[in-house]
Structure 1
Amino acid sequence: MKNIITELIKIKAISINITELYTWASGIKAPIYIDNRLTMGYPHLRWAIAESFAELIRTNLGQDRIDNIFGTATAGIPHAALLGHLLQLPFGYVRSSKKDHGKQNQIEGVYEKGQKVVVIEDLISTGGSVIEVVKTLQAAGMEVIAVLAIFSYQLKKACDAFNTLEIPFYSLTNFNSLVTTEGLLSKAEQQILKEFHHQLE
């Protein structure tokens, strides 16, 4: 969705540095870093994201198939909460590991075995972290019918991981939109990002 990628550029959620590379959570050194947490500071944008997720669900999955919405900790939590409110569905989130106190929960929220759920992530690069969330929900007896993200780098490693689990994933915008939408980046930035992306394939 062109309007989403344009807004991400406008609020400076997308940073590009061709001289000092960023380090992703996966360890990859990259000339680009995306901080979708910044979207929470812009009410019009965070609501547009929630509405876009809702429309994606209605179009591709069917809202009546979904029993619960889960966000990834921490960046996926606010977007999952807004979406749950918009669709009037339960909302929860999944920690990267169990708490070391209290009930030691890894999954937070109200849920039941057999529920069909959707996972909300802010960004997918290699897919490693969200795949672990999917496996945690499956181990708890839930059926993950899809993963939704604001942005996807469209890396083969992520596609292969989701294909292995036979779970579809969707994003509101992606790497291709970033490098092809007119006026977002300079020609030099487009070329550097394309070369970087090609190296990861």
Structure 2
Amino acid sequence: MSVKHDLTQRTFEWAGAERLARSLLQIRAVEIYPENPFTWSSGWKSPIYCDNRMILGYPLCFDQVERGFIDAISQMTPGVDVIAGTATAGIPHAAAVARALKIPMAYVRGSAKGHGKQKQVEGRAGEGLSAVVIEDTLSTGRSAFEAVEALRAEGMNILAVFSIFSYDFAVCREKAEAAEVPAYRLLGFETLISTAVAESYVDESYLQVLKNWRLHPENYGM
């Protein structure tokens, strides 16, 4: 399956993105309520809630995501040495992809353990190895790019961050640019909301509201 590139944003969207969007909406991993927004831990009000942990309960959707990651990684970062998942949401997808590609896996804790060997990176790690980071959802990108830095502290070369879905916020793009690591996603914001409208999960009258929220999420509901 091919990948559609957007070099100006140093990102791409998987060619199976619309099908994936329909799957995430069907299993309610993504819910859209413009009139009754969710509150994120950051305090931002959001008309969209994405809980990709729901995918774990739906094997066909899980297989779809795995195929997307395999296609994208094989095309964008061929020859990668390690598939690294963020704890905890990226771990199951990293494990599935690493096994399918017969590539070693690692995972990155939010912080180093306070006991034992006090490691932050578990699994395959080492000087000079190339790695990609798998995250389930990119919003601000904080956890994904903290994982990038933890892997770099092990002497590893980070080729890219891959996610199932990205809100495509400017703050995440800025983190990617600062880290000089491209952030690739299987499904982007524009495709998600256009599919939601086409499949009648949200009324078309809210389309511009959702687009405006993505540009200025900190101001929504104020």
Same fold per superposition (TM over 0.5) = yes
CA–CA distance in 2 between the matches of 1:111 and 1:54? 21
Q: 2:32 aligns with which of 7, 13, 16?
A: 16
Q: Is the 8 A contact 1:118 1:147 kept in 2?
A: yes
Higher relative contact order (CA 8 A, sep 6+): 2
Percent identity, aligned pairs only? Answer: 40
- Of stretches 2-11 and 50-59 in structure 1, the one that deviates more from structure 2 is 50-59
Q: 1:77 aligns with which of 91, 101, 104?
A: 91
Q: 1:112 to 1:42 in 2, by over 3 A?
A: same
The alpha carbon displacement at 1:163 in A equals 1.0
Within-5 A mapping of 1:47-196: 47-62=63-78, 65-181=79-195, 182-183=198-199, 184-196=201-213
1:5 aligns with 2:21: yes
CA–CA distance in 1 between the matches of 2:98 and 2:42? 29
The alpha carbon displacement at 1:92 in A equals 1.4
Alignment coverage as a number of residue pairs: 199
Unmatched runs of 5 consecutive residues or more in structure 2: 1-16
Q: Deviations over 1:102-141 (max 9, x none)?
A: 2221111122211000000000011111111101110110
The alpha carbon displacement at 1:197 in A equals 1.2
Q: Deviations over 1:145-176 (max 9, x none)?
A: 00000001111111111011111111000111
CA–CA distance in 2 between the matches of 1:104 and 1:122? 25
Q: Is the 8 A contact 2:44 2:217 kept in 1?
A: no
CA–CA distance in 1 between the matches of 2:63 and 2:85? 16
Q: Is the 8 A contact 1:26 1:126 kept in 2?
A: no
Q: 1:34 to 1:95 in 2, by over 3 A?
A: same
Q: Is the 8 A contact 1:69 1:80 kept in 2?
A: yes
CA–CA distance in 2 between the matches of 1:72 and 1:174? 20
Please report the RMSD computed on the Cα atoms of aligned residues, expressed in angstroms: 1.5
The alpha carbon displacement at 1:190 in A equals 2.4
DSSP-derived class of the 1:148 partner: strand
Q: Is the 8 A contact 2:141 2:172 kept in 1?
A: yes
The alpha carbon displacement at 1:195 in A equals 2.3
What letter matches 2:182 in structure 1? Answer: P
Structure 1 partner of 2:8: none
The alpha carbon displacement at 1:191 in A equals 3.2
Q: Deviations over 1:34-75 (max 9, x none)?
A: 00000011111111111111111122222xx20001100111
What letter matches 2:146 in structure 1? Answer: E
Structure 1 partner of 2:53: 37
